A and B are shown apart, each in its own frame.
Chain A
Amino acid sequence: MSAVLEVSNLRKSFGGITAVNDVSFEVREGEILGIIGPNGSGKSTLFNCVLGQLLPNAGEVRVDGKPTTGMRPCDLNRLGVSRTFQLLQVFPQLSVRDNLILAGQEHRGSMLSRLFGRSDAGLGDAAERMISFFQLSHLAGEQAGALSYGQQKLLDAAMAFMAGPRLVLLDEPAGGVNLTMLAHLRDRLRAYHVERNATFVVIEHQMEFVMALCTRVLVLAEGRVIAEGAPQEIRRNPAVIDAYLGH
């Protein structure tokens, strides 16, 4: 299987602190890679470097073999790399439907053709399908800001899938979500994975969520990769236990 995402020797430091230190890994097509690690181990910084929100000090990121280091997030997104955020990032005053159309419209035609195109950018049906896939149909016309936290998390994930991405990076999708909603979210992510053979990278604290969803897990501690393998192996790995429980 080919690698969708390759990260090689990535390093990012802030002043004297090296948040990500020489990290290399790859994500193969159709897998769900989990990235775990204690607080401050560099997970989010790693994500932001991969996604163009931060410029790494060294190393390279490739998507489908194409170097993307330092590319702007909007250009990277149009290459098919999509993300969700750790803290909620929806457009509160737009309706659920408009949030989803917005998530796909910039992938259609040129800026000028969108001005003269249809109001829904031809995405009305696709948005409707995504809304029913995530079981938000009863809320389609509501302002996103009026939804509960868990529902907004679902919407956030749905937005990441709207443009039919090649690779989705999910930053703590389970954070702050109650158990019922969490099971629902996991179920929807897995269904999407099976249906489209989609490729995910998931950062998560919630161990059960990671162990149940991911096909492979990468463990970060103090900016370095300390272990990598199937979920069951990771659970028993002494280095991982040590990193989580302290010295």
Chain B
Amino acid sequence: MNRFGAIALGAAAIVAIVAPFFLRRYGIYLISMWAVLTIAAIGLNLTLGYAGQVSLAQGAFVGIGAYTVALLTQAGWPYPVAFVCAGALCFAIGWLLGYPALRVQHHYLAFVTLAFTTLVFLVLRNEEWLTNGIYGINGIDRPVLFGWSTGSALDFYFFCLGMLAFLSATTWWMLRSPWGRAFLALRENPIRALSLGLDTRRYTLMAFAIGSSLGGMAGALYAPLVQFIEPNSFALGLSFNLLLMVIVGGSGFFFGPFVGALVAVLLPEWTRFTEGYYLLIYAALVMVMMAFCPSGLLGLVGRVSKAMTRRAPSPPLLRVEGTDP
């Protein structure tokens, strides 16, 4: 990581820690939502940005994770166990969802995963014996972790932020290993990768499974954050929104999801003064950005700083994108 990146990261970390003390309840709720959605977007960025597998199912995995945690904790399971179960269940389902990706790619794969999202939504809505259908699940408690009650908005925010730090560090570590290189190879040239001994089948399934698992863990935080879940929250809209976060932030950049989720959470709030028009303005801004900067906001930062420095010596080793400007 170069100096500029390190300073930016340090400053962002300080802001994330200090900000809630200057915010009211709703503001803290928003930044907690940012942390949770960032985790889900990191998962999608792994599947889509690094391994190149289009998925419109990330919202469904958030839903599966949220319902798993809600149902298990209300059945009396301790939260940490329920959290791990949510991650493990989504890992397994994500692995299975990866099988279609071995046969179809790009927009065909998008359709397959879109169908999966619809399927999950229908199960959540119709299987009332399990999910309570359209009435949703109410009164989800915030966990008490080793004597630390996360009941207040501030405590729960720091719990979410801690999980974000832990999960993103784990993802970073994984992407620095030879696996990161293998995922990129999958995106760049699967045929050549196969001829170099890379078991593309296993890596594709693994990319789906890990990405989905992160979605599930985000869901496991989402449920106690909002304390009331219902099927509509996890319909196609959320999957599209997560995809938007990855692309707006910069697909394939490590810190892309952090930026993308921030835009997706804050921009609608900032444009709220326009009342009825705020979604319209939001949509227009996204369209303009996609037209002029398809590589996302971090891609834009990269272009600008490259234009300013003009041929700095290129960094060695694997580029875990987003670290270099």
Contact = CB atoms under 8 A, between A and B. Distances in A.
Contact of A77 (B177, B185, B195, B314): B195
* Interface size, A (range): 35 or more
B106 interface: no
Nearest to B192: A89
Contacts of A121: 178
Contact of A94 (B174, B178, B179, B184): B184
Interface stretch (A1-9, A10-18, A107-115, A174-182): A107-115
Nearest to B315: A141
Contacts of B313: 141
Contacts of B192: 85, 89-91
B320 to A, nearest CB: 10
A223 B195 CA distance: 24
A95 B318 CA distance: 7
B181 interface: yes
A206 B195 CA distance: 25
Nearest to A112: B179
Nearest to A105: B178
Given A51-B195, A91-B192, A105 B182 contact: yes
B197 A116 contact: no
Which label, helix, strand, loop or mixed, suits the secondary structure of the B interface? helix
B177 A74 contact: no
A125 to B, nearest CB: 14
A190 B194 CA distance: 26
Contacts of B314: 95, 141-143
Contacts of A114: 177-179
Contacts of A198: none
Nearest to B177: A115
A115 B185 CA distance: 16
Contacts, number: 101
Nearest to B314: A141
Interface in A106-132: 106-107, 111, 114-117, 119-121
Contact of A111 (B185, B188, B196, B202): B202
Interface in B8-47: none
Interface stretch (A33-41, A96-104, A211-219): A96-104
A119 B176 contact: yes
A78 interface: yes
A141 B318 CA distance: 9
A67 interface: no
A91 B186 CA distance: 10
A83 interface: yes
Interface in B43-82: none
Contact of B182 (A97, A106, A140, A143): A106
Contacts of B178: 101, 105, 114-115, 117, 119-121
A163 interface: yes
A159 B196 contact: yes
B2 to A, nearest CB: 14
A194 to B, nearest CB: 25
A98 B189 CA distance: 14
Contacts of A93: 184, 188
Interface of A: 51, 53, 72-74, 77-78, 82-83, 85, 89-95, 97-98, 101-103, 105-107, 111, 114-117, 119-121, 140-143, 159, 163
Interface of B: 174, 176-179, 181-182, 184-185, 188-189, 191-200, 202, 313-319
Given A78-B197, A98-B317, 12 more contacts: A74-B196, A83-B195, A85-B192, A91-B192, A93-B188, A94-B181, A97-B316, A102-B185, A106-B197, A119-B178, A141-B314, A141-B316
29 contacts: A51-B195, A53-B195, A73-B194, A74-B194, A74-B195, A74-B196, A74-B198, A77-B197, A83-B195, A90-B189, A91-B189, A91-B193, A94-B318, A95-B314, A95-B317, A98-B318, A101-B181, A102-B185, A102-B196, A105-B178, A106-B182, A115-B179, A117-B177, A117-B178, A119-B176, A119-B177, A119-B178, A119-B317, A163-B196
